[in-house]
Amino acid sequence: MESIDLLVLRTAHDWLASGHRVLLATVAHTWGSSPRPEGSMMALRSDGRVVGSVSGGCIEDDLIHSHTSAYGGQPFIDGPPQRVRYGVSADEAHRFGLPCGGTLELVLEFSPDPAALQQLLGLLDDGQLVQRTLALADGAVNLAPTAKPLPFSCNSQSMANTLGPGYRMLLIGAGALAEYLATMALFNGFKVAVCDPRPEHMASWAVAGVDAVPGMPDDVVRAFRADARTCIIAVSHDPKLDDLALLEALHGPAFYIGAIGSRRNSQLRRERLIEHFGETERSLERLHGPIGIYIGSKTPAEIAVSVMAEVLAAKNAVSLPGALKVSAAKGAQESAV
């Protein structure tokens, strides 16, 4: 499953290539509570088909009624982008299903240039991070590769949105936990790959849509070319596989690196990496272990929920309280006994 941004852009391009008229809507500003953050996109086809989201659904319904033939609305116009605002009054907020006090402003692009969309998709498919800048006066688009994500911005002249390749997850080890993690990552928009050189483990892999990558894990991590939208998680329970893969990962830009294991095993892993591989406490600060947030999980499915929650928090730049960490929570429980 692709990330929602890529899905919206790719669908819009495909619709345009098939001869349909398309409206691309982007959340430009929010005030108060809002169901979707700034930069969220949706594509609307002239017959009423839609992909993506800019609200909880009510604003999408209004755009469908106003701009498509599904309910006899006006056909798409050709011209510069338009700005529309929803939820200015309490009545509008109620009508459009916005939270109390919420206000939302959209930028509407009518029939965006398919060549520019194709160029953007090509850059994203090549793994590049791209800032797409839309001139509000005439709809002209400028694409500029960037080394790091830039904050979304919209002023009276332009709207700039940083778009990147889809998020990726590389799993080391093909056991039950990896299968649950892969499933959750897929429906959260990650592209998932798994590596396990043990044929007896890979033979039972049952999650469709996951790339099975052959080779030793450290070689696979190196060839995977991790970027800032990559997470690497070692769940094989075999130090010979996990440790070397983690060493490769720690010297790359992945946003999350973690390994399964108890508090004791996690501490022993850190000691091995320091004693035998020249790592330091500082170089190991990025290594999560034990992985996951503390929810009292026991089964592989429950552990996967806790790990996925920690991964998503890291992805969204949310700093979790120390009390949620497995080590801290279990230590507090033992102290209370």
Question: For the segment 297-318, what is each residue's pLDDT rounded down to a tens digit?
Answer: 889 999 999 999 999 999 988 8
- Alpha-carbon gap, residue 267 to 251, rounded angstroms: 20
- Alpha-carbon gap, residue 154 to 136, rounded angstroms: 9
CB neighbour list of residue 155: distance below 8 Å, 6 or more residues apart:
none
| Paired sense of beta strands 103-110 and 82-86, if any | antiparallel
Query: What percent helix, strand, coil does the chain show, rounded to 5?
Result: 35, 20, 40
In this prediction, residue 93 carries a pLDDT of 55
Pick from 251, 185, 191, 194: nearest CA to 217: 194
Q: Decide: helix, strand or coil at residue 128.
A: coil
Q: Which two tokens stand for residue 303?
A: 């552990």
The HSE-up count of residue 128 (CA atoms within 13 Å, CB side) is 14
Evaluate the CA torsion angle 82, 83, 89, 92 in order and state its sign.
positive
For 13-34, the DSSP string reads HHHHHTT--EEEEEEEEEES--
CA distances from 308 to 129, 184, 189, 232 (A): 24, 7, 12, 12
In this prediction, residue 88 carries a pLDDT of 56
Mean local confidence (pLDDT), 222-241: 92
> Which superfamily is assigned to 168-336 in CATH?
NAD(P)-binding Rossmann-like Domain (3.40.50.720)
Q: Decide: helix, strand or coil at residue 310.
A: helix
Q: Which two tokens stand for residue 187?
A: 């429906």
Question: For the segment 133-185, what is each residue's pLDDT rounded down to a tens digit?
Answer: 999 999 999 999 988 878 899 999 999 999 987 889 999 999 999 999 999 99
- Please, what is the average pLDDT of the chain? 88
Running DSSP on this structure, what letter comes out for residue 163? Answer: E
Q: Which two tokens stand for residue 122?
A: 């090509």
User: Beta partners for 41?
Assistant: 26
In this prediction, residue 87 carries a pLDDT of 74
- Alpha-carbon gap, residue 99 to 33, rounded angstroms: 6
Residue 139: how many other CB atoms lie within 10 Å:
17
The HSE-up count of residue 230 (CA atoms within 13 Å, CB side) is 20
Q: What single letter denotes the amino acid at residue 194?
A: V
Mean local confidence (pLDDT), 202-227: 93
Question: For the segment 234-269, what is each residue's pLDDT rounded down to a tens digit?
Answer: 999 898 899 999 999 999 999 999 999 889 999 999
What is the distance of C-alpha 281 from the center of its chain?
29
- Strands of the sheet containing 153-154, edge to edge, are 141-145, 130-135, 158-163, 153-154
Domain boundaries, the chain: 4-163, 168-336
- Alpha-carbon gap, residue 206 to 210, rounded angstroms: 9
Residue 332: how many other CB atoms lie within 10 Å:
12
Mean local confidence (pLDDT), 191-195: 95
pTM for the predicted model, two decimal places: 0.75
* Terminal CA-CA length for the chain: 45
Give the chain's largest Cα–Cα span: 72
CA dihedral 73, 74, 76, 82 (to 10 degrees): -100
